[in-house]
Amino acid sequence: MKVILLYKNKEFYMDSDGSETILELIQRSDAEIIAPCGGMKKCGKCLVKVNLISQEIGKEERNLLGLSNIKTGYRLACCIKPEDEMVVDIPGQSAKNKILTNSNLIIDSFRPAVGIKKISTEIPNLNRQVSDIRNIFHNCNMKIDKNNLPLLKNLTEVLNSSNNEPTIISYYDMVKGIENKKNGHFFGIAVDIGTTTVAAYLYNLENGDFTDVESELNSQKQFGADVISRINFAETEMNGLGILNEVMINQLNRLVGKLCLKHSLDTNDIYMLTLAGNTTMMHFLMGLDPVNIGKLPFIPVSTEMHDFPASELGIRINKFGHAVCLPSVSAYIGADIIAGLLACRLRDMKEVSLLIDIGTNGEMVLGNKDRLVSCSTAAGPAFEGANIKFGTGGISGAIDTIEIEGGKINYTTIDDLAPVGICGSGIVDAVAEMLENDIIDETGRFYDEDEIMTIPEMKKRIFMLDGIKAFRIIDDICITQKDVREIQSAKAAVAAGIATLIKKYHIDKKDVDKIFLAGGFGNYINVKSAMRIGLLPKHDLKKVIASGNTAGAGASMCLLSHKYIEQANEIKKHVEYVELTTDPGFTNEYIENMIF
């Protein structure tokens, strides 16, 4: 049967035997859809409109959709199957996403691991019959990777076309490539591969200047908002790992292409990539099987640093360019955290400080130059808007701050557009304000109407939505009792992880000198609200530092100097990992931190 997918003003014609869901059909197309739960029928976010369908809405789909979506004609892609001549419209793809790309980058060393250098070689003759590779060696003062077949195959043509004045490409002072370079462009790209977003930073490697950044939502989002959903896809779908790898490589090539086009560069002018991401993202990047990361005892294929010719990964830069994949610590403390530690310089500090990166997982490291301890908690995707009734990512129109003052709700939205939902920072604000104004109690329960002693305007905002109590923010956008429970569980996991590390370090929380908040959620969150709900320990606000994209900053440092690549390897060796699933105190901490 034939199905037409409508996406970004394009039509995709798909064949189907009717056995798959519409979501699975979209996943194997070039279209994309938001599906935070990866098709597990849990989130209710994979909305589509269809022109004709004989399948009735079942109870499960009805509960996920809600009355307003049903009235508007939406269906869930994970709950319906293709029918012949069905036209599927995939809406909600036009909103611009606010992706954090800024970072506080300070470096004290500039010496990229990759280098280019024009040399002059001697012209061989009958009296001096020197091989091409020996000719290069005698004139470059560097070792040569003599077992590099692409280099050997390129030598004669390059020497002839350059009139024996080739440009050599080195990596760690070893010649890895040779070319007849006609321009002086010498660039590299640092990449932060987040579960939700991908950011690529372009640098001039001649002088270390930052040139530009391009960012997008991670194209794998249609396979699930969290790593477990994507691991499940890799395990259960035919060629699932291959699909996830291909989607990632295509996205990286697209970002490289965008940066080059904007700055009149050729992809051959890019000589090095440094890449950081959580351990699962690094596995997808390298095409490594991630299945054992998702189940006990959480064993990755590798947590080592790896560097490859970029062409082996399928990334289109200079054919002699290198891709450096930064190391991880464990299955759930990844290269993004190693990069973050580099950027925040925890290992250089005398005082004990805390780095927290809150996303679908809450990863944290506590320590100083003497000792670093780490853990990861399964916070779930609530802070990124998933599993929240009107939750959304950081897109234009997302409510990002909320304040209740004098019976009135004040809010702001990203780009000052009409509200379309609530993103993570807004959700934390909402719960904190609901606590302050006696809408919910410290257990997270909505007060009954006769229990609310606050101003009458607040009472009027409480109503029943699909059989669940809800608090109206604006128009149809509200926070439900279920949303509060999602946030409660997520914040308890993060807070319990922090408390566990503090105990392992044998200090009191007042002994933590600084708290570094990494990533988009940490950068935009209202710290007072986070402390009010118990997500963060109460601390001097001046010592809580929104640190920007520390993963991108750390990857950039490694691009600009091999000193930081070596430091990343050293940090990996010194980070202790605490497995919370086997820690006897974590469960108690989690239960205690369920209270707001």
CATH classification number, 2-89, choose in 3.30.870.10, 3.40.50.300, 2.40.50.140, 3.10.20.30 = 3.10.20.30
Task: Please report which confidence band the pLDDT of residue 185 belongs to, taking 50, 70 and 90 as the band edges.
Answer: very high
In this prediction, residue 92 carries a pLDDT of 59
CB 277, CB 290: distance < 8 Å: no
pLDDT at 104 over 70: no
Helix (H, G, I), strand (E, B) or coil at 179: strand
**How big is the chain by its Cα radius of gyration, in Å?**
26
Rounded CA separation 524/518 (Å)? 10
Lowest mean pLDDT among 24-33, 195-204, 454-463, 549-558: 454-463
Beta strands in 352-467 (DSSP E): 353-358, 362-367, 372-377, 398-405, 408-413, 421-422, 462-465
Instruction: Check whether 234 has a pLDDT greater than 60.
Output: yes
> Distance from CA of residue 255 to its chain's centroid?
15
- CA 531 to chain centroid, in Å, comes to 24
Whether the predicted pLDDT of 496 surpasses 90: yes
Domain boundaries, the chain: 2-89, 114-179, 187-325
Q: Packing angle between helix 227-236 and helix 279-286, nearest 10 degrees?
A: 40
Residue 102: the pLDDT is 63
Asked if 2-89 and 114-179 have one fold, the answer is: yes
CATH class of 114-179: alpha beta
Average pLDDT score, the chain = 91
What is the DSSP secondary-structure string of 468-487?
EEEEEEETTEEEEHHHHHHH
pLDDT of residue 96: 58
What's the pLDDT score for residue 361?
A: 81
Residue type at 349? M
Prediction pTM value: 0.86
Structure token pair of residue 539: 């601390």
pLDDT attached to residue 519:
81
Write the class of the CATH domain 187-325: alpha beta
| Dihedral angle sign, alpha carbons of residues 24, 29, 30, 31 | negative
Single-letter code of the amino acid located at 36: P
Q: Decide if pLDDT at 534 tops 90.
A: yes
